[in-house]
Structure 1
Amino acid sequence: MRSPQRLNVPIHLDRGLAEPLQAQLAGQLKSAILAGRLAPRARMPSTRTLASVLGISRGVALAAYERLLADGCVEGRHGAGTYVAGAEPAPPGGSPGGSLGGSLDGPSGGPSGGPSGGPSGGSLDGPSGGPSDDPSGGSPGDRSGDGRPPSGDLIDLRRERPSTQAFPLAAWRAAWRRAGHHAPPADEPPAGGLPELRAVIAAHLRETRGLVLDRHEILVAAGYGEALELLLRGWGYGQGYGQGRGQGHGRGHGRRPVIALEDPAPPRLRAAYARLGTVLPLPADRAGARPDLIPRGCDVVAVLPERGNPLGTRMPLQRRRALAAWARGSGGLVIEPAFDGLFDAGVNPLPSVLALANGDPADLAGAGRAGRGRAEVGPAGAEAGAGREGAGVPGAGTAGMAGCGTVGMVGSFCEVLTPALRLAFAVVPRGWAGPQEDGAGPGEPSFTCQLAVADLLASGAVTRRADRLAALYAAKRALVRQALAAYPGVRLLGADTGISATLLLPDGIEAGAVVAELLERRVAVAGLGAFHQRRGGAHVLGNGLVLYYGHLDTVTLRRALRVLTRTLGTHRPSHHPSHHPGPRPSPGPGAWPEPDGRRTVA
């Protein structure tokens, strides 16, 4: 059964306008089609999906599709849904991996000749790229095929790992088999990755994120840390950086950069950045990282706009604009993930910081009306004009640097396939100072590995796998909410998207003690304090637990949640009902720490 097609481009409908909703929807979808953010022959979301995501009736969505059909923008296929009309445009030439919007015939001879990719159970089977360096904390698959640990074994919720349930084993084996039919080249693979892999990654980003990378290119690396190094190398940071093509883009002159990383963040992600530069915390609140608190003198800002890890925050459009303005005004570099990590087809997309920095049409006129003139960047309404000098965005309007900054992306397929696949990529401006021809750059994946991943992408197996995981994770999120959302005295964060949740504990329950007792009961969780760079700082919200549960089957997850709730019950400040009816309540449901240590309630 085919999974519903998610909405992958930002849509903003304004009921306050005289223009009917169906006309607004049709106009924005048409703009996305004409701009190439919805590729020719791409499947469109169903009217039911549009109605659910945008909060409109199916009649409005149907009327919009009828307009698009009349304009020749879409075409209906009996029993198969609605598709973007037209042939795939011919790719522009002149750059390796540069046909970033066109179709691709992968190693298997094109999508029509690829594997069916139907889900099948079992553990991963295929060449392993070696140990993982996934900064999210991933590790190779579970010891059992369905993710269930043997009885009495440790249930580990400390690391983010994808589920191995319903892994597309047939497509995986077929891709590696076809890749193995190619004779190995006499020389090393091209710097930056095979052109066919780079092009199909760009096509995948257009399909899943609505990104048209006509001014960007893909550089492939052997791991997430290596992809980060490529990005910083191109900007001129680090020993020997900025010596290749396009060196005029950078401003680092070979020194180690000062990097502001969203705080809290996964410890492994912080370690990956710390290997390349000096890391400073960028405080986050309920709306994600705060651009008005970017440290002065900072060269690079690393954020998680789509889903903050571990708090599950999502950055609003105004803050994304402020980050794009900081990059343009200060001449700095903003880095965001290429994969949104939401695993939820019901979320209305927002423009990426990269799209906003490049003036992408994704920054819709309707969305502009919603936040015109000012960008809200503080939890209590502190504002900074996106692009206005000195308006709360550090470095905005810096003399001589306007227009020199940029935004890059780093991604991998650890979240969808397996962390054992040591392949990642960076999205960089075209003509960037990439890998050095003399081999001084970061390592690259093997020739066979690149061919296999290109095959998996071209056949649609990766997209189908992400859709299947979204359905699996939705059921697990429901279990977590059922067990913990109404638990007295605690607050659950991030359980509506993704594969992790954070449980804030009341002051009377100490997180370290709960972690220790859970470990004695064979359940391992992480303390929230470890995700902050400066433990005990004024902005730190550290008394909590972080649970990564995506890799567990439902039976094991229920067992872990049962142990967790029972353990919390033993740590209440008083167990005698005449003394206290329960644990002291946590701050209100909207309570977040201010940088000066105060808490605010939404």
Structure 2
Amino acid sequence: MDRSAQAPAEGADFLQLRRDEAPLQGLTTWLVERVRSAVAEGRLAPGAALPATRVLARELGSSRGVVVEAWRRLADEGLVVARTGSGTVVAGPMAVPTPPRAPSPALRPVPAPLPAGAVPRLPAPVPEGVDLDLSPGVPDLAAFPRAAWLRAERAVLATASAADLGYGDPRGHPRLRAALAAWLARSRGLRAAPDEVVVVAGVAQTLMLLAQVLRTRPGPVPAVAVEDPGSRGARDSLRYWGLDTVPVPVDGHGVVVEALAATGAGVALLTPAHQFPTGVVLAPARRRALLAWAREAGGLVVEDDYDAEHRYDRAPVPALQGGAPGSVLYTGSVSKGLAPGLRLGWVVAPEHLRDDVVAARHAADLGSPVLAQLVLAELLAGGAHERHLRRVRARQRARRDAVVAAVREHLPDARVEGVAAGLHLLLTLPQRPGTDDAVLAARARDAGVLVHPLSWHRVRPGPPGLVLGYAALPPGRLVEAVTRLGRVLG
């Protein structure tokens, strides 16, 4: 090995960083982006050492905390690792076990789409007698920024041209695609030009479009690996559109990549930023192994950026797409940040899929409502959307804290998971003989509290649990709901 390649570059010699080129604010993000680009372009090879934090901070004229935080973010992404005696170095690729050469679900004939009546609709209507709905996935609709939306809508109507109101580009209005590309780059680390962003009617439509694209391509239709436990709604949607699904276990570090490789599936639908329903963030080593699987097996990672904007303990881990744009199809929506009724989302597909996704989008409905697109673009460009998210995060954190405190008081035997982010948490219950979380959820419903049993979101059997959404109710009502749960489950 060339030892000179491992020696850390001192201070400003590292990547030719210059303090006068850095922004006055956001120095940590600037430093992360410079290192991330250098790794992606091959200017920093695996094993290359990063400068000591004190040295680089002194040369940049910043606090050491700026560099420490940058190195931590890069470690969270799996791009660098800290090694005893060697400092922080660029991570190398991880090998993925070769899957067994045996018939796999990926080679099975594609099933016919299921009849509409066979697909459960989640969330179901609130049953009669339920006055405290803790269903996960329901945002704080009372927090919708009505005044900001109205101001933006007036500005749009005052300036929109007649051409803006036509059918337009099936990828979405150029103004919204440009605003989304900029926002996703700075908030999620995405690498996408405006022309690579496609506006869709939410993640559900992304799954429909992907299914149509995969079913019309030559060769066998790949099975889709799904997290277990994972979103039942997403699993049902894929099956409805004719794709076979294969469960892959999730543990405390995220999806088990070795198990994913062993399925033979060609596509994996994952929620790496905030796994549903466990709340786990995909660990750095797993991120590297997952992207290695995608490269070596020619697999496709479908990254549902679920709840990424609702992080309470630190900045969200950047999206997978930024590390492997050719292997990751990224999708998200405003459903949890603004409102699901807007039916606005986005997809950034690898180049080899992009044209087919756009064609399927055009065939589906010609595009999303243009006025809503232009209003969202106005909110993104003017900063109103990010100000709204900051306000909502503060509200949700207070609600989360109320639920956690109430669970500790009224359900002391339950283990609380997934509290660092999102709009729900998971209660793992003691596994006693005869414990059935569906029965427990039914008892809660009879007491007027609606929750999801964890078994709804499992394919294989596992420990019992309850999934509680806390976004839609104020703290007092949440405490009341948990108090009732304590009485009926205790």
**How far off is 1:515 after superposition?**
1.5
Letter in 2 for 1:285: D
Corresponding position: 1:298 with 2:257: no
The corresponding residue for 2:407 is 484
Corresponding position: 1:460 with 2:426: no
The alignment yields a C-alpha RMSD, in angstroms, of: 3.9
Cα distance, 1:450–1:69 mapped onto 2, change above 3 Å: farther
Query: Matches of 1:166 and 1:261 in 2, distance apart?
Result: 32
Corresponding position: 1:259 with 2:224: yes
Query: Matches of 1:463 and 1:136 in 2, distance apart?
Result: 32
Corresponding position: 1:272 with 2:237: yes
Letter in 1 for 2:170: A
Cα distance, 1:23–1:554 mapped onto 2, change above 3 Å: farther
SS at match of 2:413: coil
SS at match of 1:420: helix
SS at match of 2:141: coil
The corresponding residue for 1:221 is 200
Aligned residues: 397
Matches within 5 A, 1:193-592: 193-213=172-192, 217-231=196-210, 236-239=213-216, 252-253=217-218, 256-276=221-241, 277-294=243-260, 295-338=262-305, 340-341=307-308, 343-347=310-314, 349-357=316-324, 406-430=327-351, 432-433=354-355, 434-436=357-359, 439-441=362-364, 443-485=366-408, 487-508=411-432, 509-534=435-460, 536=461, 540-541=462-463, 543-569=464-490
Cα distance, 1:296–1:545 mapped onto 2, change above 3 Å: closer
SS at match of 1:552: coil
Is contact 1:136–1:159 with CA below 8 Å preserved after alignment? Answer: no
Matches within 5 A, 1:73-222: 154-181=131-158, 182-185=160-163, 187-213=166-192, 217-222=196-201
Is contact 1:237–1:256 with CA below 8 Å preserved after alignment? Answer: yes
Query: Matches of 1:472 and 1:28 in 2, distance apart?
Result: 41
Query: Matches of 1:41 and 1:430 in 2, distance apart?
Result: 35
Cα distance, 1:216–1:443 mapped onto 2, change above 3 Å: closer
SS at match of 1:440: helix
Query: Matches of 2:19 and 2:206 in 1, distance apart?
Result: 29
Query: Matches of 1:354 and 1:168 in 2, distance apart?
Result: 29
SS at match of 2:358: coil
Fraction of identical pairs, as percent: 31
Letter in 1 for 2:251: D
Does 408-417 or 497-506 show the bigger shift? Answer: 497-506
The corresponding residue for 2:73 is none
**How far off is 1:553 after superposition?**
0.8
SS at match of 1:455: helix
**How far off is 1:558 after superposition?**
1.3
**How far off is 1:31 after superposition?**
9.8
Query: Matches of 2:465 and 2:238 in 1, distance apart?
Result: 24
Letter in 1 for 2:137: E
Letter in 2 for 1:275: Y
**How far off is 1:435 after superposition?**
1.8
Cα distance, 1:304–1:136 mapped onto 2, change above 3 Å: farther
Normalised by the length of structure 2, the TM-score is 0.71
**How far off is 1:162 after superposition?**
1.4
Query: Matches of 1:496 and 1:446 in 2, distance apart?
Result: 34
**How far off is 1:326 after superposition?**
1.1
Query: Matches of 2:422 and 2:456 in 1, distance apart?
Result: 20
Letter in 2 for 1:219: V
SS at match of 1:335: strand
Letter in 1 for 2:140: S
Letter in 2 for 1:292: E
Q: What is the CA deviation profile of residues 511-555 of structure 1, one whole-angstrom value per residue up to 9, with x for unaligned ones? A: 233222211211111111000124x3xxx33x1111011111112
The corresponding residue for 1:113 is none
**How far off is 1:470 after superposition?**
1.5
More helix by share: 2
Letter in 2 for 1:310: P
Query: Matches of 2:56 and 2:149 in 1, distance apart?
Result: 38
Cα distance, 1:332–1:521 mapped onto 2, change above 3 Å: same
Is contact 1:333–1:406 with CA below 8 Å preserved after alignment? Answer: yes
**How far off is 1:229 after superposition?**
3.6
Query: Matches of 1:423 and 1:159 in 2, distance apart?
Result: 20
Q: What is the CA deviation profile of residues 217-241 of structure 1, one whole-angstrom value per residue up to 9, with x for unaligned ones? A: 11111232222344455xx4124xx
SS at match of 2:215: coil
Is contact 1:222–1:422 with CA below 8 Å preserved after alignment? Answer: yes
Query: Matches of 1:27 and 1:160 in 2, distance apart?
Result: 44
Query: Matches of 2:319 and 2:361 in 1, distance apart?
Result: 34
**How far off is 1:160 after superposition?**
1.3
Q: What is the CA deviation profile of residues 136-173 of structure 1, one whole-angstrom value per residue up to 9, with x for unaligned ones? A: 96799x9xxxxxxxxx8621112311113443221111
Query: Matches of 1:409 and 1:184 in 2, distance apart?
Result: 32
Query: Matches of 1:463 and 1:139 in 2, distance apart?
Result: 31
**How far off is 1:45 after superposition?**
7.2
Is contact 1:307–1:342 with CA below 8 Å preserved after alignment? Answer: no
Q: What is the CA deviation profile of residues 464-513 of structure 1, one whole-angstrom value per residue up to 9, with x for unaligned ones? A: 12211221121122122212246433222112322211111223343233
**How far off is 1:23 after superposition?**
6.5
Is contact 1:222–1:445 with CA below 8 Å preserved after alignment? Answer: yes
Cα distance, 1:44–1:421 mapped onto 2, change above 3 Å: farther
Query: Matches of 1:299 and 1:33 in 2, distance apart?
Result: 46
Cα distance, 1:29–1:567 mapped onto 2, change above 3 Å: farther
Cα distance, 1:228–1:464 mapped onto 2, change above 3 Å: same
SS at match of 2:135: coil
Query: Matches of 1:19 and 1:163 in 2, distance apart?
Result: 48
Query: Matches of 2:316 and 2:459 in 1, distance apart?
Result: 30
Is contact 1:325–1:357 with CA below 8 Å preserved after alignment? Answer: no
Letter in 2 for 1:175: A
Letter in 2 for 1:422: R
**How far off is 1:348 after superposition?**
5.0
Is contact 1:321–1:353 with CA below 8 Å preserved after alignment? Answer: no
Query: 5+ unaligned residues in a row in structure 2: which ranges?
Result: 1-5, 30-51, 67-119
Cα distance, 1:215–1:301 mapped onto 2, change above 3 Å: farther
Query: Matches of 1:472 and 1:207 in 2, distance apart?
Result: 23
The corresponding residue for 2:102 is none
Query: Matches of 2:20 and 2:319 in 1, distance apart?
Result: 18
Q: What is the CA deviation profile of residues 412-454 of structure 1, one whole-angstrom value per residue up to 9, with x for unaligned ones? A: 0111100001111101234722322994245521121211111
Query: 5+ unaligned residues in a row in structure 1: which ranges?
Result: 1-16, 47-59, 75-134, 143-151, 240-251, 359-404, 570-602
Is contact 2:333–2:345 with CA below 8 Å preserved after alignment? Answer: yes
SS at match of 1:191: coil
Query: Matches of 2:195 and 2:304 in 1, distance apart?
Result: 15
Cα distance, 1:502–1:179 mapped onto 2, change above 3 Å: same
Letter in 1 for 2:419: A
